[in-house]
Amino acid sequence: MSDFIIETNRLTKQYGDQKSVNNLNMHVRKGRIYGLLGRNGAGKTTTMKMLLNLAKPTSGEVHIFGKDIRTNEKKILPRIGSLIESPGFYPNLTGTENLKIFAELRGIPKRNAIENALELVSLPYRDKKLYSQYSLGMKQRLAIALAVMHDPELLILDEPINGLDPIGIAEVRSFIRKLSEERGKTILISSHILSEIALLADDIGIIDNGVLLEEESLEELEGKNSKYIHFIVSDIAQAARILEGSFNTKNFHVEDEHGIRLYDTNLLLPIINRTFIENGVDITEAHVCENTLEDYFKKVTGGVGIA
């Protein structure tokens, strides 16, 4: 039995001759915010639909809370809150009235649950405004309120910040974090916006063309994106000896005949330069570089960047 809240095994969805999701092995850990990052058309929504048994996999399996979703749907789904497509809210009712209808359908003890959910997303309980008069941001918040109303352990939110303005985005980010930190929820969220995932997720899965290319913690990812000083020098062996001998560091990487990357960026560049020159190492280039998450995304997807 695994410790994962969500685990997929070679999950695949084929439409015609296109594999929209291709042999996907995904692992979402308890209490974490997992960001599924990929461009439009990468396969995020299709993946989430299969997790919720809304789409049937062509092959492969989904395990949620350690159980196969296909044979345990009735036990598993009530423990999940999801936002995949916009829920069918009634335009001529208020937000609260809409939630009441859903609460009744689902047999949730009403008032408290609705009040709590609305409070979380900062929508008023007593409000005469009709859903049809809601801004896009308010509609999105109501949809999230609906997803959390029955206090699920796991939330699956497909691009919850889509179409929101910057303030709306910041608010959604803050209550997703609150759900994770204060209420211990496990949250799977998808986005095509790299910076957003970087701000929110604990773990990141990068999906491209239906393939999960990378899966790791933000910490690990940031480790790969550290700053370094890039030197091009005449004598790489001598430069390496100087760094070890005079600067007492092994935290560098020799790229090729002339290139060296020093990750110990606390060392002062002018002093290193002087020491190299004094010891017969000519320097053609020396500058501080930083691999951004965007560089990393380009590298793993082998293509153009993402916002």
Ligand X SMILES: Nc1ncnc2c1ncn2[C@@H]1O[C@H](COP(=O)(O)OP(=O)(O)O)[C@@H](O)[C@H]1O
Binding residues (CB under 6 A) for ligand X: these are 15, 20, 38, 40-46
Report residue 246 as tokens: 């005079």
Residue type, 292: T
> Which helix (DSSP H) or strand (DSSP E) does residue 200 occupy?
helix 194-200
Among 45, 94, 180, 191, binds Mg ion (CB under 5 A): 45
> CA-CA distance, 59 to 270, in Å (whole number)?
58
Q: Which does 41 bind (CB under 5 to 8 A by kind): Mg ion, ligand X, none?
A: ligand X
Q: Closest approach of Cβ 209 to ligand X, in Å? A: 9
Say how many CA atoms lie within 13 Å of 193 toward its Cβ: 15
Q: Closest approach of Cβ 39 to ligand X, in Å? A: 7
Q: Which does 42 bind (CB under 5 to 8 A by kind): Mg ion, ligand X, none?
A: ligand X
Residue 103 or 158: the one with the smaller Cβ distance to Mg ion is 158
Q: Closest approach of Cβ 52 to Mg ion, in Å? A: 13
Beta strands in the chain (DSSP E): 4-15, 18-24, 27-29, 33-37, 59-64, 67-68, 80-83, 154-158, 186-191, 203-208, 211-217, 227-233, 252-254, 259-262, 283-290
Residue 45 or 186: the one with the smaller Cβ distance to Mg ion is 45
Q: Closest approach of Cβ 200 to Mg ion, in Å? A: 17
What secondary structure letter does DSSP report for 261? E
Q: Which does 94 bind (CB under 5 to 8 A by kind): Mg ion, ligand X, none?
A: none
> CA-CA distance, 159 to 180, in Å (whole number)?
17
Residue 20 or 301: the one with the smaller Cβ distance to ligand X is 20
Residue 306 and residue 194 in contact, taking contact as beta carbons nearer than 8 Å: yes
Q: Closest approach of Cβ 158 to Mg ion, in Å? A: 6
Instruction: State the pairing for strand pair 33-37/203-208.
Output: parallel
Residue 41 or 184: the one with the smaller Cβ distance to ligand X is 41
Report residue 282 as tokens: 């000519």
Residue 40 or 71: the one with the smaller Cβ distance to ligand X is 40
Interacting span for Mg ion (CB under 5 A) from 40-48, 90-98, 139-147, 272-280: 40-48
Question: Residues interacting with Mg ion, by CB under 5 A?
Answer: 44-45
